[in-house]
């Protein structure tokens, strides 16, 4: 059974990069019918940010990445918050001491600092490794503060990463890492390994910034005799300016993106593509579809760039795919704000705007000409393909106004028939009549429906008023 975990440290809101880790963990598990776990890694209380845990819950909830085990939902491997697991870390550290794979270190800060090399890097010199059993016991007895360090063995360490392949490093490059700090709390790395083992995690998915720490994790698993999980490190994620996306660089949080008008399913879809692509290059997916097709084998190791434009396009595609009644209910407040004309058919306005917006809130701008004709330049009457310009428009509008005045049953089909007849009987093509009508009625270069539909929406009186106003403008 595949068990993956998203293991955030509550040091701020979730960025796009954090969401990508969570999503890939989720997809790897769900693709195989496995279990997705949330574990809060809050051992480092100094970096704790008030409200960060709630922000993580909120983001996972909005995006639909429901965890099977975790804080609040529980599970057989709880608690799922590290600060509630304090008692679990000392026993494995003591076992390592017993087996000669770890040791107490009583060195003070000043001494450690004096070991710093020219670059300021401190590598511990194993001073306390020589202490006799009696000396250690006496120091502990007298309350001397200590840490517990892992004794890094000689040789090399190789681990396999699903994305980056085999990586080998010389153990001599590693320091005897601290497992338990002087306050009795585990270090971040130690707690991470102890918990991944305790929670039977099979796949560790995280950003590639953890690649350099993975030899240390590997040595810990080996020392403790625990199975090593499958590592999946994700490619670097950059902003379009080439900077790494981070909480500190003020990039938008997921709730902020939703506030800006991104649909959660579009965010998820776009984030899935940041470092992964399906074999057939399809780009638009629901979360369900992603679960079906996601395969860690298709994760790329080259850096991916967060592109707001692309995410905006993905958003538009998801809006197009919404069931019309859902789109209608989301668009209605914006349509009502933009168009207050009595008797308006808002369902119709929803229908003509749905496929034309990148954000739902843009729908109002597409139809706001219904209430108020904007001031426009007569150059709008020029259209090369339709072979119209202000002169053609002036003459064709004159004819159209005269003919439409006679029309009693004012609907777009009847209006269309009047235009067709006019085109037959005059020197103007249909386009040369429709383009000027549309321009005079909307004052916009593009509209979400054609001239005859606009005329029907506006009604006969208002339409004739606008057509005449257009004609005066042209004269």
Q: Which of 192, 432, 447, 452 binds ligand GLU (CB under 6 A)?
A: 192
Q: Give whichever of 37 and 373 is closer to ligand GLU, judged by the CB atom.
A: 37
Distance CA 363, CA 261 (A): 12
**Using the rule CB under 6 A, is 233 a contact of ligand GLU?**
no
Distance CA 317, CA 355 (A): 8
Distance CA 475, CA 284 (A): 50
Q: Where are the alpha helices (DSSP H) in 360-450?
A: 363-367, 390-406, 412-425, 430-442
* Residue 53 CB, nearest approach to ligand GLU (Å): 12
Q: Give whichever of 247 and 412 is closer to ligand GLU, judged by the CB atom.
A: 247
The tally of CA atoms less than 13 A away on the side-chain side of residue 257 is 26
Q: Which stretch binds ligand GLU (CB under 6 A): 4-12, 246-254, 257-265, 323-331?
A: 4-12
Q: Provide the sign of the torsion angle of the four alpha carbons 52, 57, 62, 64, taken in this order.
A: positive
Walk across the sheet containing 203-207 and list its strands. 35-38, 3-6, 203-207, 230-234, 156-161, 165-170
Q: What is the DSSP letter of 44?
A: -
* Residue 304 CB, nearest approach to ligand GLU (Å): 18
Could you tell me which of 163, 193, 205, 201 has the C-alpha nearest to residue 19? Answer: 205
Return the SS3 of 392.
helix
Distance CA 353, CA 333 (A): 14
421 is catalytic: no
* Residue 110 CB, nearest approach to ligand GLU (Å): 31
Q: Give whichever of 8 and 316 is closer to ligand GLU, judged by the CB atom.
A: 8
Quote the tokens at residue 248: 């500190």
Q: How many residues does the chain have?
A: 475
Could you tell me which of 275, 213, 191 has the C-alpha nearest to residue 21? Answer: 275
Quote the tokens at residue 244: 């790494």
Q: Which stretch binds ligand GLU (CB under 6 A): 2-10, 232-240, 387-395, 419-427?
A: 2-10
The residue to which tokens 């979730």 are assigned:
14
**Using the rule CB under 6 A, is 82 a contact of ligand GLU?**
no
Q: Which of 30, 149, 206, 318 binds ligand GLU (CB under 6 A)?
A: 206
* Residue 210 CB, nearest approach to ligand GLU (Å): 6
Q: Give whichever of 63 and 192 is closer to ligand GLU, judged by the CB atom.
A: 192
Q: Which stretch binds ligand GLU (CB under 6 A): 1-9, 154-162, 315-323, 450-458?
A: 1-9
**Using the rule CB under 6 A, is 8 a contact of ligand GLU?**
yes
Distance CA 301, CA 208 (A): 9
Q: Which stretch binds ligand GLU (CB under 6 A): 27-35, 122-130, 202-210, 392-400?
A: 202-210
**Using the rule CB under 6 A, is 41 a contact of ligand GLU?**
yes
Distance CA 62, CA 129 (A): 51
Q: Give whichever of 7 and 163 is closer to ligand GLU, judged by the CB atom.
A: 7
Q: Give whichever of 20 and 466 is closer to ligand GLU, judged by the CB atom.
A: 20
The residue number whose beta carbon is nearest to ligand GLU equals 206
**Using the rule CB under 6 A, is 12 a contact of ligand GLU?**
no
Residue 438 dihedral angles phi and psi, to the nearest 5°: -60, -40
Q: Give whichever of 275 and 316 is closer to ligand GLU, judged by the CB atom.
A: 275
Among candidate residues 123, 247, 310, 460, the one labeled active-site is 247
Distance CA 74, CA 445 (A): 57
Q: Which of 7, 360, 363, 393 binds ligand GLU (CB under 6 A)?
A: 7
Q: Which stretch binds ligand GLU (CB under 6 A): 6-14, 62-70, 150-158, 176-184?
A: 6-14
**Using the rule CB under 6 A, is 9 a contact of ligand GLU?**
yes
Active site residues: 247
Residues interacting with ligand GLU, by CB under 6 A?
7-9, 41, 192, 204, 206, 210
């Amino acid at each position: 059974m595949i068990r993956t975990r998203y293991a955030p440290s509550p040091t701020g809101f979730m960025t796009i990069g954090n969401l990508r880790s969570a999503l890939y963990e989720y997809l790897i598990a769900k693709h195989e019918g496995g279990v997705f776990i949330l574990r809060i890694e809050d051992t480092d209380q100094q970096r704790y940010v008030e409200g960060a845990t709630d922000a993580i819950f909120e983001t996972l909830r909005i995006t639909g990445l429901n965890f099977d085990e975790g804080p609040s939902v529980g599970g057989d491997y709880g608690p799922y918050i590290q600060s509630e697991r304090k008692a679990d870390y000392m026993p494995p550290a003591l076992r390592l001491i017993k087996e000669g794979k770890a040791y107490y270190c009583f060195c003070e800060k000043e001494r450690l600092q004096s070991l710093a090399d020219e670059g300021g890097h401190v590598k511990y010199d194993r001073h306390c490794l020589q202490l006799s059993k009696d000396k250690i016991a006496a120091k502990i007895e007298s309350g001397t503060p200590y840490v517990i360090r892992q004794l890094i063995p000689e040789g090399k360490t190789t681990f396999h990463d699903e994305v980056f392949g085999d990586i080998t490093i010389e153990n001599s490059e590693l320091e005897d890492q601290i497992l338990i700090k002087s306050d009795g709390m585990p270090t971040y790395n130690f707690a991470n390994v102890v918990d991944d083992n305790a929670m039977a995690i099979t796949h560790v998915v995280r950003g590639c910034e953890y690649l350099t720490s993975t030899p240390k994790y590997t040595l810990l698993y080996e020392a403790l005799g625990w199975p090593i999980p499958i590592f999946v490190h994700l490619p670097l994620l950059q902003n379009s300016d080439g900077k790494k996306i981070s909480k500190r660089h003020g990039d938008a949080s997921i709730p902020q993106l939703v506030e800006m008008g991104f649909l959660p399913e579009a965010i998820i879809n776009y984030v899935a593509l940041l470092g992964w692509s399906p074999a057939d290059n399809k780009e638009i997916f629901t979360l369900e579809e992603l679960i079906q097709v996601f395969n860690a084998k298709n994760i790329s190791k080259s850096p991916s760039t967060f592109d707001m434009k692309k995410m905006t396009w993905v958003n538009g595609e998801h809006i197009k795919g919404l069931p019309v009644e859902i789109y209608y209910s989301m668009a209605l407040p914006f349509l009502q704000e933009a168009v207050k004309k009595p008797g308006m058919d808002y369902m119709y306005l929803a229908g003509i705007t749905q496929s034309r917006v990148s954000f739902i809130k843009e729908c109002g701008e597409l139809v706001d000409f219904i209430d108020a004709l904007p001031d426009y330049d007569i150059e709008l009457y020029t259209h090369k393909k339709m072979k119209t310009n202000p002169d053609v428009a002036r003459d064709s509008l004159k004819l159209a106004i005269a003919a439409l005045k006679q029309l009693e049953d004012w609907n777009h089909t009847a209006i269309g028939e009047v235009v067709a007849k006019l085109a037959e009987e005059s020197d103007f093509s249909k386009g040369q009549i429709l383009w000027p009508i549309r321009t005079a009625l909307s004052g916009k270069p593009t509209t979400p429906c054609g001239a005859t539909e606009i005329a029907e929406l506006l009604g006969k009186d208002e339409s004739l008023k606008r057509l005449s106003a257009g004609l005066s403008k042209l004269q």
